[in-house]
Amino acid sequence: MEEKTINTIEKDILKVLISERRLKKRVREIGAQIAADFEEKDPLFVGVLRGSFMFFADLMRVCPIPCGLDFLSASSYNSGTSSSGVVKIDYDIKADIRGRHIVLVEDILDSGNTLYNVSGHLKDRGAKSVKLCVLLDKPARREKPIKPDYVGFTVPDAFVVGYGLDYADRYRNLPYIGVLKPEVYEQ
């Protein structure tokens, strides 16, 4: 019988930047660090949808302290590869955060527009503190004065996908962080 080959997303990846093994190890380290810093604070973890979903879920599993979680969605990107600068909250958290310590979890800090606006929004809603936890930091293209409190990896100025990060809503389901072949977004 003829074997059918599945058209996978792997063919569009130029190279693996951060392997599954390295992601797992680093997420475990960050989880332990946050657990130590927040064990008595009953923090609320807020995940920025949709890019942070995989990192968020893995982080929660290695941070065994009393805490709550919630999500919001903000958009500054349409489907291209650079920031528009305008950030809109499309879907907001449900929790009352007055007096709460927030750990804001995001996939990548790039221009800084998203986290700058979202953390301001959470402070406006009465949060006692807002700490920023990002899997990836791409400092080369920063436009806002913003410093993350927890960083998984610092990455070069290339468009990366996988482990939650997308290009045109594809590639989020790759289990590692990869660099996309330029011809994928140049065509």
Which sequence positions are flagged as catalytic?
110
- Closest approach of Cβ 70 to Mg ion, in Å? 16
What are the DSSP E strand ranges found in the chain?
Answer: 13-18, 44-49, 68-75, 88-91, 101-109, 129-137, 150-154, 160-161, 177-180
d(C-alpha 84, C-alpha 147), whole Å: 20
Select 51 or 178, whichever has its Cβ closest to Mg ion.
Answer: 51
Task: Work out what residue 73 binds among ligand IMP, Mg ion, none; the CB cut-off runs from 5 to 8 Å by kind.
Answer: none
CA separation for the pair 49, 138 (Å, rounded): 19
In terms of Cβ atoms closer than 10 Å to its own Cβ (0-12, 13-18, 19+), residue 102 is buried
Q: Is 158 helix (H, G, I), strand (E, B) or coil?
A: coil
Residues 61, 186 contacting (CB under 8 angstroms): no
160 sits near ligand IMP (criterion: CB under 6 A): yes
Query: Contact letters (x/-) for ligand IMP, 50-89, by CB under 6 A?
Result: -x------------------------xx-----x------
Owner of token pair 């693996």: 16
* Smallest distance from ligand IMP to CB 167, Å: 6
Question: Binding to ligand IMP by residue 129, rule CB under 6 A?
Answer: no
Mark 2-41 with x for binding to ligand IMP (rule: CB under 6 A) and - for no binding. ----------------------------------------
Q: Which residues bind ligand IMP (CB under 6 A)?
A: 51, 76-77, 83, 106-114, 138, 159-161, 165
